[in-house]
């Protein structure tokens, strides 16, 4: 492949994109596998880790609505519901009626869940980060994050356009 040729630039871009997205797919699968292994003694999975991380933020101290949590985690309501049921059964979260609208449901971390998160899971998660990012400099991390956010924003545009196409205005 002669990347210097203008004729080959679109093909080279396609090949690089294919490699990039395949590596992202592999990373996501290994994050799920190895990340779950890192917190399995706490009875957590990477999905539960993500929920607890979202609920542990200062902005979520009073809980998060189901729609807000699905948007934040970029998951479907159906997938999140199954995860939340398991977490509620384990005592990590509580689903309570909304304060303004009693039909709305707020998801809150319980005291027990907060203890599991801060005292048991977070130290293991931080150790996992250290191992996974062991040869990354601060500059590498900064650049990686920048490009991941850029890619995420482009993918959100695709998702928004697809959603608009499937739900035309009345």
Listed by start position, the domains of the chain span: 6-134
Residue 150, token pair as written in the block? 């850029």
The fold adopted by the segment(s) 6-134 is Arc Repressor Mutant, subunit A (1.10.10)
Higher pLDDT, 101 or 69: 69
Question: Can you tell me the distance from the alpha carbon of 32 to that of 48, in angstroms, rounded to the nearest whole number?
Answer: 11
Q: Is 74 helix (H, G, I), strand (E, B) or coil?
A: coil
The single residue listed with the structure tokens 């303004």 is 100
Q: pLDDT tens digits, residue range 73-102?
A: 999 999 999 999 999 999 999 998 877 777
pLDDT category of residue 12 using cuts at 50, 70 and 90 = very high
| pLDDT value for 3 | 53
| pLDDT value for 6 | 64
User: Looking at residues 9-30, what average pLDDT do you find?
Assistant: 95
pLDDT category of residue 5 using cuts at 50, 70 and 90 = low
Question: Can you tell me the distance from the alpha carbon of 119 to that of 137, in angstroms, rounded to the nearest whole number?
Answer: 27
| pLDDT value for 123 | 97
Question: Can you tell me the distance from the alpha carbon of 144 to that of 64, in angstroms, rounded to the nearest whole number?
Answer: 29
pTM of the model: 0.85
Q: 47 and 92 in contact (C-beta within 8 Å)?
A: no
């Amino acid at each position: 492949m002669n990347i210097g040729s203008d004729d080959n630039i679109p093909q080279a871009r396609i090949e690089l994109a294919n490699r990039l997205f395949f590596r992202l797919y592999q990373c996501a699968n290994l994050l799920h596998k190895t990340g779950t292994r890192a917190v399995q003694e706490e009875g957590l999975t990477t999905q539960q880790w993500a929920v607890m991380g979202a609920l542990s933020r200062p902005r979520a101290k009073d809980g998060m609505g189901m729609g807000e949590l699905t948007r934040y985690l970029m998951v479907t309501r159906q997938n999140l519901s199954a995860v939340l049921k398991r977490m509620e059964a384990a005592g990590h979260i509580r689903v309570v009626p909304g304060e303004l609208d009693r039909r709305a449901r707020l998801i809150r971390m319980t005291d027990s869940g907060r203890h599991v998160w801060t005292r048991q899971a977070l130290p293991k998660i931080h150790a996992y980060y250290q191992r996974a990012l062991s040869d990354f400099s601060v500059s590498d991390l900064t650049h990686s994050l920048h490009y991941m956010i850029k890619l995420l924003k482009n993918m959100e545009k695709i998702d928004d356009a697809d959603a608009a196409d499937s739900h035309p205005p009345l």
